[in-house]
């Protein structure tokens, strides 16, 4: 029987996936990453799921990749590593994805948080990409996502020194959207996810795609893509339902069509 490295619970339309490798400080081994991606793909295919929260433990969100795996990896093994495909599959998740971070989010753990749409963190949170101190560099999106998130200077400082930043600096830099007391981090992330999950599914998907495009294409192209998505929603029943519910002063009943 497969060892559960990811714990899952669901409340209303929100699934919470908790990293569960306490003996390794939630290091993202290949089996752990595989289980996480599998759970995400199940949630993506389930119409009863509107959003997903990824959480860790009190002291460690995730301490990085599994160094024992990396220690055994030579050049041929690196060239055939299946982890890049797993990260690609994770990036293809189509529903809102939130990270609830307490403690250390380092290396691959930081990259996992960066791959999420929204990061809520506790006061104990520390974000870092320390690979350079091991003769390595980030390899799961760290250099690309961090610089788009916090800007060139801070991203270069974090990547090239390996030094972590605390929760207050992460908030100031725009890496996270909120900082909570640690005991409320997961609850706050779930509250936000629940609010998101009540919105029209097609509108959520379109808005999220437009936001992701903004990181990858120029402004004029982004504006064109945004307008295309806006126009496409005019054909949906949910758009008509949302406007009708507003005028009728009732809660909309979205059907995802």
User: Which domains, from first to last, does the chain contain?
Assistant: 6-197 (3.90.226.10), 201-247 (1.10.12)
Show the tokens assigned to 248: 């009728």
Q: CA-CA distances (angstroms) from residue 128 to 94, 137, 226? A: 26, 12, 33
> Would you say 197 and 50 are in contact if contact means Cβ atoms under 8 Å apart?
yes
* Dihedral angle computed from the Cα positions of residues 208, 210, 215 and 218, in that order, rounded to the nearest 10 degrees: 180
Half-sphere exposure (Cβ direction) of 31: Cα atoms closer than 13 Å: 8
How do the pLDDT tens digits run along the chain, 257 residues long? 567 899 999 999 999 999 999 999 999 999 999 999 999 999 999 999 999 999 999 999 999 776 677 656 666 656 667 788 999 999 999 999 999 999 999 999 999 999 999 999 999 999 999 999 999 999 899 999 999 999 999 999 999 999 999 999 999 999 999 999 999 999 999 999 999 999 999 999 999 999 999 989 999 999 999 999 999 999 999 999 999 999 999 999 999 88
């Amino acid at each position: 029987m497969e060892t559960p490295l990811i714990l899952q619970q669901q409340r209303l339309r929100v699934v919470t996936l908790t990293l569960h490798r306490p003996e390794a400080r939630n290091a993202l081994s290949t089996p752990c990453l595989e289980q996480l991606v599998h759970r995400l793909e199940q949630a993506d295919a389930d119409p009863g799921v509107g959003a997903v929260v990824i959480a860790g433990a009190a002291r460690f969100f995730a301490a990085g990749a599994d160094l024992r795996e990396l220690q055994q990896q030579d050049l041929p093994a690196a060239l055939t590593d299946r982890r890049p495909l797993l990260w690609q599959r994770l990036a293809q998740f189509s529903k809102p994805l939130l990270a609830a971070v307490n403690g250390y989010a380092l290396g691959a753990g930081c990259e996992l948080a960066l791959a999420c749409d929204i990061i809520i963190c506790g006061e104990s949170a520390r974000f870092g990409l320390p690979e350079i101190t091991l003769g390595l560099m980030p390899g799961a999106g760290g250099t690309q996502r961090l610089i788009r998130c916090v800007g060139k200077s801070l991203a270069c400082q974090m990547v090239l020194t390996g030094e972590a930043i605390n929760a207050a600096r992460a908030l100031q830099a725009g890496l996270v959207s909120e900082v909570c007391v640690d005991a409320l981090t997961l609850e706050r992330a779930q509250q936000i996810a629940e609010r998101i999950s009540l919105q029209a599914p097609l509108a959520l998907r379109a808005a999220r795609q437009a936001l992701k495009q903004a990181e990858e294409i120029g402004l004029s192209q982004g504006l064109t893509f945004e307008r295309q998505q806006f126009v496409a929603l005019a054909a949906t029943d949910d758009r008509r339902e949302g406007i009708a519910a507003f005028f009728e002063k009732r809660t909309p009943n979205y059907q995802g069509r």
